[in-house]
Amino acid sequence: MRLRLVKKNVVLFLMMSLILFILYYSKFMLTIESGVLDNVPHKGTQDDDTNTFNYGTVLQMRKSVYDSNYRQFIQNADKFAGDPEVVIVVQVHNRPAYLKMLIQSLEKASEIGKFFVVFSHDYFSEEIGDLVKGITFCKVLQIYFPYSTQLYPNEFPGQDPLDCPRDISKEDARKTECLNAEHPDAYGHYREASITQTKHHWWWKLHFVFERLKVLQGYKGFAVFIEEDNYILPDFFSFFKSMTNLRDKDCVDCDVLALGNHDGVSQFAELSSKTEKSGWMSTKNNIGMGISRELYYKLMGCNNEFCNYDDYNWDWTLQNLSGTCIKKPLKVLVACGTRVLHTGNCGLHQKEACNSEVAQQKVDAALEKVRTALFPQKLTLTNHGSVEHKPHMKNGGWGDIRDHILCANYAARL
Ligand SMILES: *[C@@H]1O[C@H](CO)[C@@H](O)[C@H](O)[C@H]1NC(C)=O
């Protein structure tokens, strides 16, 4: 009898412990989660002064993402103490071979010590992290997109197993009661997580750079947005400076600096010192974009329009805002001789497979071609007036209201 009572108590005790443990654990996880969302500071850990990232499990990665974004560890800060004179923000996914080339281009850029380079990741791997950690020649910060599909492998913003398949009809979707049955895109397709990620990351990053980066709070200049498969030319810094001066003198209503274009370098010698102003065109001016705080505020004024527009491309989305939600069409000051090359050859439209060695050879040839025409003494400006832009068909891929809501929330969280 006594023994049975004891046994019963033990079982009871064990069950209570288990419940308490689960409650405690889930509260702990919730704290981390809401910490990620609300930027609530929490106690530092021993690695306060280092940029360690734990790649072990999804939960550890989420925690590292939150900690790193909160801590904002600036690599090489002691070596390069002055305020940054040019800010470059790189959106990085998962192409280390191309990222490596970009880093080499930075290393070769003149006055690189005056740069501040931010790497914004949506894919977390030791290989990519180590590439960036290896940089010794300027101030560097790594930031991490907290709603990466990698961090949510089985739920939104990743792909939920209960999401509707892309090509199912709305009728069938309703019958199967899949999660987003009511929200296909303009072409009747359902959400694919991997397709939506780039636009999310782009918008989050814009907000994070201008509102959250402590080190940029007093920065009044342009931040130049590039991608991991871009390559900057050696005179980037002096060209950027000249272009900024030119804008302040002769084109104060230019919203954007386009330091790159997609025309290649075959005419570089003639074009090196030329700039022009025109209306912003997504297909032409989406590479090496210099964005100022003023433009950032203009864009955020159209937060809902950006986030609800059914196009998974951030650049086509901006195109639609230009002249609609942003009343005055965006104006851009363009470098006719590009200072940002595009090395990526894995795109959807390229026939040849990804081959970073081929890309490297092309870059080397381009560098040789432009060498004698870099560092122009003085820039010239041609006015092309406002280019008429016909309204474009939206591309779809952004019909799910969960995307609209998540996207609109980046700007709401301060
Ligand atoms: C922007 O999108 C809206 C809605 O699809 C459309 O009515 C409008 O014509 C578009 N404007 C431009 C400039 O593309």
- Is pLDDT at 23 greater than 50 in this prediction? no
- Is pLDDT at 10 greater than 60 in this prediction? no
Instruction: Please indicate whether residue 317, judged by its CB atom, sits closer than 6 Å to ligand 1.
Output: no
Instruction: Please indicate whether residue 17, judged by its CB atom, sits closer than 6 Å to ligand 1.
Output: no
Instruction: Please indicate whether residue 320, judged by its CB atom, sits closer than 6 Å to ligand 1.
Output: yes
Q: Which residues contact 301 (CB under 8 A, 6 or more apart)?
A: 325, 326
- Of ligand 1's listed atoms, the one at least distance from the Cα of 389 is 13
Write the DSSP symbol of residue 258. Answer: E
Average pLDDT of every residue of the chain: 89
190 CA distance to ligand 1 middle (Å): 22
Residue 183's pLDDT is 98
- Is pLDDT at 289 greater than 60 in this prediction? yes
pLDDT band for position 47 (cuts 50, 70, 90): very low
Tell me the mean pLDDT in the region 380-409: 88
Instruction: Please indicate whether residue 392, judged by its CB atom, sits closer than 6 Å to ligand 1.
Output: yes
Residue 1's pLDDT is 44
Tell me the mean pLDDT in the region 183-212: 97
Residue 345's pLDDT is 78
Q: Own/partner pairs for 326-329, CB < 8 Å, 24+ apart?
A: 326/298, 326/299, 326/301, 326/302, 329/279, 329/280, 329/386, 329/389
> What's the token pair of residue 262?
């997609």
The response to whether 91 counts as a known ligand-binding position is yes
Q: Which residues contact 342 (CB under 8 A, 6 or more apart)?
A: 229, 230, 231, 260, 262, 287
394 CA distance to ligand 1 middle (Å): 8
Tokens 């003149």 — which residue? 110
CB atoms within 10 A of CB 391: 9
Instruction: Please indicate whether residue 339, judged by its CB atom, sits closer than 6 Å to ligand 1.
Output: no
**Is the overall model pTM greater than 0.85, yes or no?**
yes
d(CA 113, CA 295): 27
329 CA distance to ligand 1 middle (Å): 13
Tell me the mean pLDDT in the region 101-114: 97
Tell me: the pLDDT tens digits for 51-101?
789 999 999 999 999 999 999 999 999 999 989 999 999 999 999 999 999
pLDDT band for position 32 (cuts 50, 70, 90): very low
Q: Identify the structural domains of the chain with CATH numbers, from first to last.
A: 72-153+187-412 (3.90.550.10)
Instruction: Please indicate whether residue 56, judged by its CB atom, sits closer than 6 Å to ligand 1.
Output: no
The count of C-alpha atoms lying within 13 angstroms of the C-alpha of 296, restricted to the half-sphere facing its C-beta, is: 21
Tell me: the pLDDT tens digits for 233-285?
999 999 999 999 999 999 999 999 999 999 999 999 999 999 999 999 999 99
